[in-house]
Structure formats: structure tokens, C-alpha cells
Chains A and B, each alone.
Chain A
């Protein structure tokens, strides 16, 4: 089974801190994605990457950046955390044009 591993299940950060959320997948998938999940809004795409060092903005990229230096790792960066970034963050990966069926277990971030 593909494993998508997110390094932290829960994080509490202060407003203005720089926050790194890490995601690693072990099946050589080309595509990796970061979503945030909020009640009543479903999941919304923040950024995605189709290859190493490539990144594209999703629907809500403001306040976020990403890094993909290695194929298996996709990092989400909150440059200066704000309280409205308190949310559940989900990482996902897929193979080329394959189905998207591999999600991480999520990181619940609270910004105080």
C-alpha cells in the first residue's frame, strides 16, 4: 500500500511564526498535493506539484508556499502564521494520471 506520511498530527504555533508541514510518500508518485479542510467547506487545494522542483498554485495559495526538492517529499510552508490558517491540512499523492487515492492522516494546526 502507498503510504503518505505527515510528520505531525497536531501542531500549535504562535501568530507570526514560520511553520513547516512535511509530507513524505513512499511509492515514487509524481504528483503531490496539499489541501486544507474546514467544516462546511470540504477540502480546498492549496498547492500541488507534478515533479521535483515544480509547483503550481491551487485555489487558495495566499499565505502559503511549498517546496519539493526530492520526489518523495512535499513541504507546505506558512511564512507568517495567522489565526485564519488554523485548520486541518491533508497531503495527497498520485501516479501520473492515476486516481487520487492516497491521502495522509492530516495535521491539525492551531495558530494562537
Chain B
């Protein structure tokens, strides 16, 4: 059974600081997603990582994937208040989009 663990589950950051959210998963995977969810809203796809060593960046967010370590990271650079949201990683084992989600990381950026 695939398990996906995110940490930390809650992160309070000061604006301008850097931090990393970790996503560990228990079995081999073909595809890993990162999503953002604002309060009361649906999920917004941030990144899809498809291969070992994949790195993707969008603005202040950078995601990477190490399939050998079964680890993905979401790095936040120079955080701003607008990044406050809940971030989920999700792992797809079969290219069928049967995703297993982590519990989510609640990020609060304080000015």
C-alpha cells in the first residue's frame, strides 16, 4: 500500500525567509504532483514531476524529485504573504491518476 508523508504539517514563516516542504512516499512511482489550495477553494496544480532528478520552478517555488530516495521537495524562496495556502503532494503509481495524497502542509507567511 502506497503511503505519502508530508512534513511539516504546519509551517509559519516570516516574509523573506526560505523553507522546504518534504514529501516522502513508500513505493516506486511514475509521477508526483504538487498542488496548492486556498481556503474554501479547490486544488490548483503547481507542478508535475515525471522523472528522477526532475526540477521545476515557478516564481518563488521550486519542486524536485528524487525517485531513488522516494522524496520530493517543495522549496520556497523569499516567502511572501501571497504564498499562504495549503500545499499537497500526491503520488501516482500507475499513470492512471489514481493519486495518493499527503496530509497537506498549511503554510502561513507572516509580514
Residues of A within 8 A of B (CB): 31, 33, 35, 40-45, 48, 50, 58-59, 90, 92, 94, 97-101, 103-106
What is the count of residue pairs linking A and B with beta-carbon distances less than 8 angstroms?
57
Inter-subunit contact A43/B90 (CB<8 Å): yes
**Residue of B43, B48, B95, B103 touching A41 (CB-CB under 8 A):** B103
CB neighbours (8 Å) of A50 from chain B are: 96
Indicate whether A99 sits within 8 Å of B102 (C-beta atoms), given known contacts A43-B88, A90-B42, A105-B41: no
**Residue of A35, A100, A105 touching B33 (CB-CB under 8 A):** A100
CB neighbours (8 Å) of B95 from chain A are: 97
Kindly state the interface size class of chain B when it binds its partner: 20 to 34
Inter-subunit contact A105/B42 (CB<8 Å): yes
Query: How far does the alpha carbon of A100 sit from the alpha carbon of B104 in the complex, in Å?
Result: 17
**Residue of A42, A98, A100 touching B103 (CB-CB under 8 A):** A42
The proximity string for B residues 94-107 relative to A, scoring 1 for CB distances below 8 Å and 0 otherwise, is 01111111111000
Query: How far does the alpha carbon of A35 sit from the alpha carbon of B99 in the complex, in Å?
Result: 10
- Provide a sorted-by-A list of 16 A–B residue pairs whose CB atoms are within 8 angstroms: A31-B96, A33-B97, A43-B99, A45-B98, A45-B100, A48-B97, A58-B98, A90-B42, A99-B31, A99-B33, A99-B97, A100-B97, A103-B42, A103-B43, A104-B42, A105-B42
Q: How distant is B107 from chain A, measured CB to nearest CB, in Å?
A: 15
B62 beta carbon closer than 8 Å to chain A: no
The proximity string for B residues 78-101 relative to A, scoring 1 for CB distances below 8 Å and 0 otherwise, is 000000000010101001111111
Query: How far does the alpha carbon of A42 sit from the alpha carbon of B86 in the complex, in Å?
Result: 10
**Residue of B41, B45, B100 touching A101 (CB-CB under 8 A):** B45
Inter-subunit contact B97/A94 (CB<8 Å): yes
